[in-house]
Structure formats: structure tokens, C-alpha cells
Structure 1
């Protein structure tokens, strides 16, 4: 069962009922643990709504507290059968109006878009500062967003931010977990556990993930989903300490951007000088 189902409105109602029942019974956690054969830590999570108990545990708590077990089981069945509606995240930055050029790169990226049953695809985009890596990736992501109905995630990993340290994988994972499961109350402590939960939350979803400004392979690797049909766009300024590991170890497709040709630059200049009119 996914965390999205665990923390739905019906699960919260069940937790509230369990708290009221415990308070009315006058039992402490030690006594309840002995009567239900559950650990104190698990009971605390059930009562706080951090974990959905099994049906057998709900029945045991109801019996231990002399509560209405049939009502508790009915609430539990609602919690299991009616998880909250999935709201796909849509985190892409705004597209550049009048984007032009980069036709070969766009064609190559388009050819990489996986079908639903295909393996995970990683596109590693690198190039010098200011060459337009992020602009290209964002524009392309908007072009193919409808191919990923379960949403788009975006994060700036601050790999070359002169004012801040690179974003640690643990923090990046926490942001993604919050986007995927807004009701999530307990975020695992370790990077490995957070990455595992991230893979679970994306396990049956077809998503596009844009990882901008990566400094190292490890930053990116922690944020890779494990399921088929997803596309990851990883952007870095440097090849050697940036995305080479993804190409060698994760079968990523490298796309290196060079400065625009004179013709492309001239076209971009014409677009900038005469932008499209804004809609009324």
C-alpha cells in the first residue's frame, strides 16, 4: 500500500477514533502493547495517523479497549478502499516564449522519449555555462509533458551555485517526497530509505523528472525512479565530475551543447527583438 493511501482522510478518521477509544479506556501504551501484541512504537504511529494498522490490529485494539470493533473495521475498510485522489505534480519552470534553434538536439531528445513499457531513459545534457542547457531542457519538457500523465518533477541541485552548496541528495529526496505525498508525516532518516520510498511512490507512474544544475553523479542517481516509462533529464556544466558516471553506469544518453551557430544566434536575436504578442 502506498503512503498516499495510508495518509488519506479516512485513515485520519480511523486514527482519531483509535485515540478517543484509547483515552476512554484509560489504558497506557504498555498495557495496550501487552493486550494487542503490538509494539509501543507501532501503536504510537497508529494513534498518530502515521501508519495504517492491519485489520487484525484494528480488531485487537477494539477488543482491548472494549470498543465498537465493527465500526472500527468499517472505518478501516474505507481507508483502504478510498485513498485520496492523486494530484500529479506539475513543477516545470515556465517555457521561453519564442524558443528557437536547437533542432538537432530537440529531435534527438524526442527520439529518446520512452513508451509506457520501455525501460527508464536518462538524458545527460552538458555544456558550458550560458550555452542554454536549462532553456533547452525546459522547452523540450513542455513539448512532451502530455506523454507523462502522472506529472513532472523539477529541482535545481545547485551544482554550480556560487552562493550555496550543492543540494544534498537527502534534501532533494525530501522535496520530491513532499510533492508526491503531501500528507506524508514521516520522512525516513537515511538517504537509502528516502530513495526507496521515492521509488515506491513512482513505481506505477509515468513521469518526467528534470534535474537541473547537477554537480555529481551521486546527486542524480539518488533521484532516479526504478520503473519503466519514465524520462529523466539531468543537466550539468561539466562532463568529468558531472554526468560521466551516468553514461558509463546507467546507460544515460549524452547530449553536449555547443554555442549556437551564427545562423541560430541571428534567428534567436530576431525572435527576441520581435516577440510573439501576448494573448488578450
Structure 2
């Protein structure tokens, strides 16, 4: 049996779960391949998988913009079963597994399961430790052993049903239940775009004096928002920046930063809107 595991990850949370899914399928003697979406080359992958596992983090209550573009460019996988999941910092989630499922249905897949999984929030306190590494309310210690065991069991259970040709699709209405409840959260989802929700978060700052011109930030930016202004200076296009802050993490010289106090303030404020923000599985 053949499986294709695709994920998008900035902080590493989604990558760890994708690797866990990979190990779960290998344990059942499946031929399983795993790729970050940005590294997946359809021209070099001629196989037709029996199962696709697709995972992304939640960014601004939505599929990350760069991930959505990569998913839209995937080829058809008619007849493949698919499991979708999202990771989020125990804050607002809003229908991301449902939106992933709709994308894969458009590729000809049959949706057989989905999940929303709490993981450490990536916003940094004073630019150092992640909020999710410090506070339980924002995903500290998640996913714990129980959640990891459940995730593995769900993946292996789906694999077993595919092997036995006993798999059944789930209704999209079931995946709609994987969302944050609450009037304010719902209102914000339907009345604002993710680009508008980004407006509350701080822009990225560049300190030219610290910059070593290594260009790691340019290579890390899936939005193409970072370029060279001159031989020794980079430029950030704020209109294209998705404010995922991955470039800050990869910069070895500390030349990139942001107002983390503002970011953490808004994360805490948005957390007050969250209802039903917890790990859930549908399979």
C-alpha cells in the first residue's frame, strides 16, 4: 500500500505530527513518503497513493496563504483516501480541517478522517521563549502522550480499513464541527479575511547593522516577500508578507525581529474568544 504525507510547517509543530503519521504507516509495512509542501515536486512523484495525509498549522484562523497556494497546485489523486489535520496554539481554529477536505475533494480524493490538534503557540514572549512552551492555556506540553497515541491509532485504523477495502467516507458536515465556537469568533471569521486579521499583528523589522547578507530569510519566505534592496541590504514587501515570522527564526544574526509584546497581547486577547478550542478527531 502507498501513502503520501504532505505537511506545511513554520514552527515545527505540524512537521512532528506528520512524522508521527509516517512512522505509524511504516509500522504497518506501508510504502510511505513524506514531504514538506514546499519541497514536493509532482513531476518527480509519479505514484498514485492509496492514502494522503495532509496537515497544516492554523494561521489567522485559516490555512496559511502559502500552503493554500501549494495545495491548489497539487495534481488530481482520483480515488485516493485522505486524512486532514490542523495544529493550533489552543486559540482560534475555525474550520481549517473542513477547508483542507474541500481542497482534496476537488482533487478527487475521498475524505476518511480529520483532526484539530493543540500544539504550542509559536508567539514568543519578549522574542525568546514561545508562549506555548510556557503556558498550558496556549498548548504547553501538547500533544501529550494520550493525544499522540490517539493520533497514531486513528492513522493505523484508517490504514487497516483501506487494506481490508472497508473504508467509508465521512460527511463534510462532521468536519465542520472541528471549529472554534462562540459568537465573536464566528463573526470575525465571516466578516474579515485572513489578510485583514493579520493587520493586528506587528510587521517584521530589519536591522541592517546586524545583517550578514546570508539570504537565509529570502530562501525561507514562501510568500516571496523578502528580496535584496542592495548588495548588503534586504527589503521586506509588507503587502506580500504573511506574518508567519519564520524568517525571524532562521536568521542566524538576529537581524530580523518584531514587536513580540504586541503579538502576544493580541494572541491573549483572541484567546478570550475561543470556545471548543481543543484536540478533536473525526474518523
Specify if TM > 0.5: no
Q: Answer with 1 or 2: which has the greater Rg.
A: 1
TM-score between both structures, scaled by the size of structure 2: 0.23
The structure in which a higher percent of residues are helix is 1
Q: Higher strand fraction: Structure 1 or Structure 2?
A: 2
User: How does the TM-score come out when normalised to structure 1?
Assistant: 0.23
> Which is bigger in relative contact order (C-alpha 8 A, separation at least 6)?
1
